[in-house]
Chain A
Amino acid sequence: MPAGRRGPAAQSARRPPPLLPLLLLCVLGAPQAGSGADTAVISPQDPTLLIGSSLLATCSVHGDPPGATAEGLYWTLNGRRLPPELSRVLNASTLALALANLNGSRQQSGDNLVCHARDGSILAGSCLYVGLPPEKPVNISCWSKNMKDLTCRWTPGAHGETFLHTNYSLKYKLRWYGQDNTCEEYHTVGPHSCHIPKDLALFTPYEIWVEATNRLGSARSDVLTLDILDVVTTDPPPDVHVSRVGGLEDQLSVRWVSPPALKDFLFQAKYQIRYRVEDSVDWKVVDDVSNQTSCRLAGLKPGTVYFVQVRCNPFGIYGSKKAGIWSEWSHPTAASTPRSERSGPGGGACEPRGGEPSSGPVRRELKQFLGWLKKHAYCSNLSFRLYDQWRAWMQKSHKTRNQDEGILPSGRRGTARGPAR
């Protein structure tokens, strides 16, 4: 190298000398003219040890000029000076150290054991790696998005830290054929996860496991066997719309679209709807919504804003006997019920569209209709009692219902008229 490149003190040795001394000269106080710095070597370099084990280390000084002594040298570990009774002068140029019952390393880059000159300057160092071998990873769970990929998560072996950097590798292979493959995209859904983006076969089982390795050893999880079709999940239903049902103050209608990615296969999709009042954290869940893409929520509070979400489970896809995995909830959609004086108890099931003679919401709806009729039509004497009479009559004469449409007990046809109270 051209001498002009350097400052005043040029390093002379340029032939390739033995590697270790060259490194030390390069790193640790390369002698600059007039400074007469000492160099030293610590042994062992970068040892790996089990927690609780002991270590014997030495710091050997080479002086420039020669004749440097081990007098005045001292040790620090992670910046803290070690008690002198742990050190011993072995010979004129070597200081020894005896450490016992080592604790786990403070940082993954290793504990810094340093040999200092009398004036505190760093002469040499060694990184200690103290820890435990990894434990068997557990709780592997996997899911496939739309049968295209596979994401797996696992938990590192239980009992806390190994204190050493532990590398996890997710492996998989077809159960009855082929080589081991290694997953390559890590940390996709948390620190212990991996994503296999493609080239996965359906209708045939895979074996999946996780290998954990660190400086002290390795461990392998139990093998999980699965068929991609048994762990399918999908996107949340798109286009969730929530709207009022006419003027009904206690109902909202929810509509959605079947997730498009699986639309050709979702013969038995299940859905779940959850809804809550705007300023509450309690969700009500409507379960077991099978194969529909709409639902009517009833028993809601009038004049209230509701948030609604829907999710999908691709149940029994391609004839799989297992339930799939629920998708994420759709983005919350909000809607408000119309204002009114009445309120009712909570729902829990979708209201049927047709209006069978069930209790609660339909009766309420009917009451509202009758009330409206009284105001706007010439049916001043309509009442709920009349309706109940009609229902009772309907049940008794169900055999003749088809013949006698619209005929009331009093024998009149058409809409109700006349005194009914």
Chain B
Amino acid sequence: SSAAPISPAETISQAYSLALYMQKNTSMLLQTYLQYQGSPFSDPGFSAPELQLSSLPPATAFFKTWRALDDGERLSLAQGAFLALTQHLQLVKDDQSDLNPGSPILLAQLGTARLRAQGLLGNMAAIMTALGLPMPPEEDTLGLVAFGASAFERKCRGYVVTREYGHWTDRAVRDLALLKAKYPA
């Protein structure tokens, strides 16, 4: 590459700051989303861990496994997740414009979450470059899943996406903290 080399420490620090900033708003996004879907979603303390999306990678992992990942794998998994999240957040926003047409606050928050996820993707790509690691290929994570879902399925889907967005942001903060410690400024 012809550009001047960026220090890994700088790119990691930036990504870490962004992830921390995102973390502050993830639970608000989930709560706002649930409010608009009606009961039982909007009930206080609603939680349905049985609802999952196979097109979104799970954020939780066994601690030992997670700790033992090398830098490339660690970042690659996070990138894959946030790429999937940007695509799913767009899908959820489209679903909600249909299900809840008069809800500019929710739609704005979904849009913002998606933009931030894209930003984080960019920052992680910068880290990969700075560390001399190969970039994982971009993929269409949604495939056939999206179309034709019923209203209830779409409500559930949005819940899983906003929930997992929170989980992956928490994980990104931990991933980047590890990297930050490894590549101090």
Q: Which of A22-30, A60-68, A249-257, A411-419 participates in binding chain B? A: A22-30
Which residues does chain A contribute within 8 Å of B76, judged by CB atoms?
4
In the assembled complex, the Cα of A20 lies from the Cα of B55 at a distance in Å of: 16
Interface: B80 (CB within 8 A): yes
Instruction: Please state if A1 and B139 are interface contacts (CB–CB under 8 Å).
Output: yes
User: Of A23, A28, A124, which is within 8 A of B145 by CB?
Assistant: A23
In the assembled complex, the Cα of A113 lies from the Cα of B151 at a distance in Å of: 11
Nearest-CB residue, chain A, relative to B79: A5
In the assembled complex, the Cα of A113 lies from the Cα of B141 at a distance in Å of: 29
Which residues of A192-220 are within 8 A (CB) of B?
Answer: none
Instruction: Please state if A125 and B152 are interface contacts (CB–CB under 8 Å).
Output: yes
Instruction: Please state if A110 and B54 are interface contacts (CB–CB under 8 Å).
Output: no
Which residues does chain A contribute within 8 Å of B7, judged by CB atoms?
none
In the assembled complex, the Cα of A37 lies from the Cα of B51 at a distance in Å of: 11
Interface: B149 (CB within 8 A): yes
Interface: A80 (CB within 8 A): yes
A107-127, CB under 8 A of B: which get 1 and which 0? Answer: 111111110000001101111
Which residues does chain A contribute within 8 Å of B73, judged by CB atoms?
4
Instruction: Please state if B50 and A22 are interface contacts (CB–CB under 8 Å).
Output: no
Q: How many interface residues does chain B have, given as a range?
A: 35 or more
Which residues does chain B contribute within 8 Å of A45, judged by CB atoms?
150-152
Which residues of B27-47 are within 8 A (CB) of A?
Answer: 36-43
Which residues does chain A contribute within 8 Å of B39, judged by CB atoms?
78-80, 106, 112
Given contacts A5-B77, A7-B57, contact A112 B38 (CB under 8 A): yes
Which residues does chain A contribute within 8 Å of B61, judged by CB atoms?
7-8
In the assembled complex, the Cα of A25 lies from the Cα of B57 at a distance in Å of: 15
- Closest chain-B Cβ to A247's Cβ sits at a distance in Å of 57
A80-111, CB under 8 A of B: which get 1 and which 0? Answer: 10000000000000000000000000111111
In the assembled complex, the Cα of A24 lies from the Cα of B156 at a distance in Å of: 11
Interface: B25 (CB within 8 A): no
Which residues does chain B contribute within 8 Å of A107, judged by CB atoms?
36-38
Instruction: Please state if B58 and A26 are interface contacts (CB–CB under 8 Å).
Output: no
Interface: A46 (CB within 8 A): yes
Nearest-CB residue, chain A, relative to B139: A1
Interface: B101 (CB within 8 A): yes
Instruction: Please state if B51 and A111 are interface contacts (CB–CB under 8 Å).
Output: no
Interface: B48 (CB within 8 A): yes
- Closest chain-A Cβ to B160's Cβ sits at a distance in Å of 8
B141-177, CB under 8 A of A: which get 1 and which 0? Answer: 1001101111111011100100000000000000000
Chosen A-B contacts, 9 in total, with CB atoms closer than 8 Å, are A1-B139, A23-B145, A27-B156, A30-B53, A78-B40, A80-B39, A106-B38, A108-B101, A114-B152
Write the residues of chain B forming the contact surface with A, with a CB cutoff of 8 angstroms.
Answer: 36-43, 48, 50-55, 57-58, 60-62, 73, 76-77, 80, 99-102, 139, 141, 144-145, 147-153, 155-157, 160
What 8 additional pairs, Cβ within 8 angstroms, besides A19-B147, A32-B52, A78-B38? A8-B61, A23-B149, A26-B55, A27-B153, A45-B151, A45-B152, A106-B38, A121-B50
Nearest first, the 6 A-B pairs at minimum CB distance are A79-B39, A125-B152, A127-B151, A79-B40, A11-B54, A107-B38
